[in-house]
Amino acid sequence: MPTEPPREQPTRVGERYELTSPISTGGMGQVWRGYDTVLDREIAVKLIRPDLTAENGPDAPMAGEAAELLDRIRRASG
C-alpha cells in the first residue's frame, strides 16, 4: 500500500507537546519525535491521517473509543 508523502506538520500539538522530527510514515499516519513540556521528557507522537479521524473514517467507532480511553487516562492522571 503506497503511503502519502510527509506533509507539513505543526511544530506544536496543543499547548503541551512540541514536535521535533519525523520518525516514520505509515498507513494510519505519521509518528514524530516530540517533547512533553509538562513532564520535561522526550516522547513519540502519532498523528492520525485526517481521513481516519472519528468524523470521517471507516474506523470511526474505534477512534471514538480511543478518545474515551484517552480522556479517562487524562482525568486519572490530572
pLDDT tier at 60, thresholds 50, 70, 90: low
**Is 21's pLDDT higher than 60?**
yes
- 2 found inside a domain: no
- Give the domain extent around 63: 12-77
Give domain status of residue 42, yes or no: yes
State percent of the chain over pLDDT 70: 64
Q: Say which CATH number the domain at 40 has.
A: 3.30.200.20
Q: What are phi and psi of 16, to 5 degrees?
A: -100, -35
Q: How far apart are CA 21 and CA 32, in angstroms?
A: 6
The count of C-alpha atoms lying within 13 angstroms of the C-alpha of 40, restricted to the half-sphere facing its C-beta, is 0
> How many domains, the chain?
1
Task: Give residue-wise pLDDT tens across range 33-58.
Answer: 999 999 999 999 888 888 877 665 55
Determine, yes or no, domain membership for 4: no
Q: Most confidently modeled of 11-15, 22-26, 51-55?
A: 22-26
Residue 19: per-residue pLDDT: 93
Name the 3-class secondary structure at 54: coil
